[in-house]
Structure 1
Amino acid sequence: MSVQHPKESWLIGDQGYPLESWLLTPVGAPNTSKEQKYNRLHGSARNCIERAFGVLKSRFRCLLKHRVLHYSHETSALVVSTCVILHNIMTKAGIMLNEVEDEVAEDFDSPNNAVDSSQYIREGERTRSRYISTL
């Protein structure tokens, strides 16, 4: 199965994910001010995403970690998409939820994705470096 990614669009992940040309992770040991800025921007974006996940998990308990969706990836994606749509409908209808904000831990100091000589890691490093150079 091939995944198509629009040019200049990326997914972001924490240190637990491997660096790919389409999946950007924090710089493990930032050496420059641009790398530090990149890590701050990356962390800020992840915080926003993690808060959104927290809201969905609070509203739809089936999404909690201990309630693993026992379906194919495609069906799981449909369940999550349906939860997002229902959340938006409920919000527009004024059915609010007590938000619990979970901050994303700053995990830049202990990289989990060790240096790898694979082509994918090198492509990811080039992509991340190109982005950092624009900051």
Structure 2
Amino acid sequence: MLADGGYPCLRYPLPLITPYKRPVQGVGAHHFNVHHSRARSIIERAFGMMKTRFRAIFLQVLEVHHTFVPHVITACAILHNICLGVGDIMAPEEMAEEEEDEGGHALETVSGAPWRDQLSAEVSALEEVPADHDYLLQARQ
């Protein structure tokens, strides 16, 4: 799961990927933060549209057993995608930018930071591949 800087970067017990703290050291970490921010932005817009569309469900306490909540969210996501597919597009609610707490998290060093470093290296490696590279040609040779 992607989270803002207010949470620790964890691999266990729950995978939680956070951006690097500022000031960012290195180009790879900077690229990782850019991609992380873009992905979180897309997810937040999607949830904003769903909250607008299903206001009666998501803006109050769900009165279902907690084990049923994922089914409610999944059903809403499916219905939302059907609505988008037929052109019923809703603008997400205007949400205030959350202030990200970038305090230190001791648990992060043990659990998630090495994992984030590995993901960052993979993101950087993908960006270094030439755009015109033909992978299929290389695989056939």
Normalised-by-shorter TM-score class: 0.7 to 0.9
Gaps of 5+ in 2: 125-141
CA contact (8 A) 1:50 1:104 kept: no
> Per-residue deviation at 1:31?
1.5
> Per-residue deviation at 1:51?
0.5
CA contact (8 A) 2:5 2:18 kept: yes
Correspondences of 1:8-87 after superposition (within 5 Å): 11-21=1-11, 22-29=15-22, 30-61=24-55, 62-64=57-59, 67-87=60-80
- State the match for 1:100 in structure 2: 92
| Cα distance in 1, alignment partners of residues 8 and 65 from structure 2 | 22
Gaps of 5+ in 1: 1-10
Please list the CA deviations of residues 82-121 of structure 1 after superposition, one character each: whole Å capped at 9, or x if unmatched: 11111122333x251331365784856x414x231x4x64
| Cα distance in 1, alignment partners of residues 25 and 98 from structure 2 | 17
Equivalent residue letter for 1:63:
F
Say which structure is richer in helix: 2
CA 1:72–1:17: 2 relative to 1, 3 Å? farther
Equivalent residue letter for 2:111:
E
- State the match for 1:129 in structure 2: 117
TM-score by length of 1: 0.73
CA 1:56–1:88: 2 relative to 1, 3 Å? same
Comparing 120-129 with 51-60, greater Cα deviation is found at: 120-129
> How many pairs align?
118
